[in-house]
Amino acid sequence: MAKKPVINISDLKYFDFGDGGKFEAKLGPVSPRIGADQLGYNVTLVKPGKRAFPYHLHHTNEEMFYIIEGTGTLRYNDQEYPIKKGDFIACPAGPGTARQIINTSKADLKYLALSTTQGPEVAEYPDSNKVMVHCGPPPMSGEEPHLRLMVKKGKNLDYFEGESD
């Protein structure tokens, strides 16, 4: 039986996400609940002073955010922008598009996160000098990725390193 293609925001089931420090949010997956194939979306709840994700950019997938309630700050490359209820935020893929939403207010921040789900995905984390490679089902699909690799940028291996005759 096909999934029902509609869900009300009040019926979302949230799970805790973060490191228990400055990264702390509740994520309410939407796309796997209604059978979406090529777009991923969730509702993200962020407490004051927190952020859901590190500052990052995607090389493959584009993201869009819609602020449902609250206020905060969008860190986008070397700029910061105030954000509030009703704002749409475009985050194309590729270099020069690093982003992070921060709840800089004294109240909760709630937003809809929407992205394409093309793979494989490569993401960069400029603050920590990390790179992530993700192949397989998109995050929050409920399925394990075929490959997920998080490494520090730096020494690249030679193509033939570790190979034997």
pLDDT band at 2 (very low <50, low <70, confident <90, very high): low
123 token code pair: 């993401």
Q: Is 116 helix (H, G, I), strand (E, B) or coil?
A: strand
pLDDT surpasses 60 at 1: no
Q: What amino acid occupies position 151? A: V
148 token code pair: 């997920």
For 28-40, how does the pLDDT look when each residue is reduced to its tens digit (9 = 90+)? 999 999 999 899 9
Contact criterion met (CB below 8 Å) for 118 and 59 = no
Q: Is 70 helix (H, G, I), strand (E, B) or coil?
A: coil
| pLDDT value at residue 129 | 95
pLDDT band at 145 (very low <50, low <70, confident <90, very high): confident
Helix (H) or strand (E) holding 27: strand 24-29
pTM of the model: 0.92
- Enumerate the domain spans of the chain: 9-118
pLDDT surpasses 70 at 165: no
pLDDT surpasses 80 at 142: no
| pLDDT value at residue 58 | 97
CATH of domain 9-118: 2.60.120.10
The chain-wide mean pLDDT, for the chain, equals 94
CA distances from 25 to 66, 80, 86, 101, 111 (A): 16, 21, 20, 11, 11
